[in-house]
A and B are shown apart, each in its own frame.
Chain A
C-alpha cells in the first residue's frame, strides 16, 4: 500500500500504542527501588546530625527530623489557608511546585525543633561541645544546601502561621533573620544580588518613561 501522510501518522500511533499497551501507569518495582535509593533531605539531616553529635545519637536525629516534618506540614497548611483567604484562590500549583519554598519551610521547622531541644542529654561532653558549635544556626541551611536569603523569605510567614511559638522562639527566629540580613544574605552566591539587579533594571525603565520634571 502507498504510504500516505495519514497512513504514516496512523502507523506511528499504532507503534506507540503497541509499546505502551502493556506498560503500567505507575512506576515499576525496579524504578521505585531506584527512587528509594536516592539521597533525600531526611538522609542528609540524619547523617549530618550523627556526624556532629556522634553515631550513638542517630535515633535522636530521626526523632528531630520527624518533629520538623510535622511542624512543616502544620505550618504549610496554616500558610495556605491564610493565602487562600488573602488572595481568594484555591490553586497553589506555583508555590507548591517550588522546591525552594519546601526546603525553606522545612529548614525553618527544623531550626525551631533544634533550637527547642538544644543539646541531646545523653551526648558525651565532647559531643556536646561539638553540637553547640556545629548544630546552631546556620548549620541547618548549610546541610540542606539552602541559600540564607531563601530561608529569610519564609520566617515572617512561619511566625504568623504558627500561633504557638514561644516568645523565646520568635526571638530566636528574629535573630536568625538579623544574621541573614547582616551577613549571610550578602555572600557572593546569594540570590539577593539578582533581585537587586532586577529591581534596578525595573527602576531604570520607570525612570526612562517618566518625564524629566517628575
Chain B
C-alpha cells in the first residue's frame, strides 16, 4: 500500500463516512 494515497484524516475511519458516531 506504500504508493496509495490515503485520504482519510488521522483518526478517521469508515464510521464517520457513513454518518455513525
- A residues near B (Cβ < 8 Å) are 79, 82-83, 86-87, 92, 94-95, 98, 100-101, 153-154, 156-157, 159-160, 165, 167, 170-171, 174
Known: A92-B20, A94-B21, A159-B1. A83 touches B15 (CB 8 A): yes
For B17, what are the chain A residues with a Cβ–Cβ distance below 8 Å? 153-154, 157
- A95 adjacent to B18 (CB under 8 Å): yes
Given contacts A83-B15, A157-B13, contact A170 B1 (CB under 8 A): yes
B1-21 interface (Cβ within 8 A of A) = 1, 3-8, 11, 13-15, 17-21
User: What's the least CB distance linking A185 to chain B, in Å?
Assistant: 13
Q: Is the CB of B15 within 8 A of A87?
A: yes
A94→B19 CA distance, assembly (Å): 8
A94 to B20, CA, bound (A): 6
Q: Is the CB of A174 within 8 A of B15?
A: no
Residue of B nearest to A98 (CB): B18
Once bound together, how far apart are the Cα atoms of A171 and B4, in whole Å?
Answer: 8
Report if A159-B4 is in contact (Cβ < 8 Å); known contacts: A94-B20, A94-B21, A98-B20: yes
CA distance A98 to B21 in the complex (A): 13
Q: Could you list 5 examples of A-B contacts with CB < 8 Å? A: A87-B15, A94-B19, A157-B14, A160-B6, A170-B4
Residues of A within 8 A of B4 (CB): 159, 170, 174
Task: Indicate which residue in A79, A98, A101, A160 contacts B1 across the interface (CB closer than 8 Å).
Answer: A160
Contacts of B15 in A (CB 8 A): 83, 87, 92, 94-95
Contacts of B8 in A (CB 8 A): 156-157
Nearest residue, chain A, Cβ from B14: A157
Which B residues touch A159, using CB under 8 A? 1, 4
9 closest pairs, A vs B, by CB? A94-B20, A157-B14, A153-B17, A95-B20, A101-B18, A98-B18, A170-B4, A83-B13, A86-B13
